[in-house]
Amino acid sequence: MLFFWLVLLIVAVSLVVFLWVGTLFFQRYIYTEPTRGLYWQAPAAGAVMGLFFAGWCLLVATTPGVTPTDNPY
């Protein structure tokens, strides 16, 4: 179970980094400066997406009768 949470933590941190760097690159490419709230917006979006993926994985993992070939979600 620790491996499960570790993987989801790595996914959430990767999302934060990807969103932060991607927004910095894209907004500096289009505009003269990036958004002012990027220091809290990227971690918030990464945390929300990480929680969504964690909930989805828990839902699939705890559903009775789920097999790799028969997944209802």
- Give the pTM: 0.79
Task: Convert the pLDDT of each residue in 39-52 to its tens digit.
Answer: 999 999 999 999 99
Task: Convert the pLDDT of each residue in 14-47 to its tens digit.
Answer: 999 999 999 999 998 999 888 889 899 999 999 9
Instruction: Classify burial at 49, counting beta carbons within 10 Å of its beta carbon; exposed 0-12, middle 13-18, buried 19 or more.
Output: middle
Q: Are 24 and 34 in contact (CB under 8 A)?
A: yes
pLDDT value at residue 32? 86
Q: Rounded to whole angstroms, how far apart are CA atoms 4 and 26?
A: 32
Residue for token digits 């979600």? 73
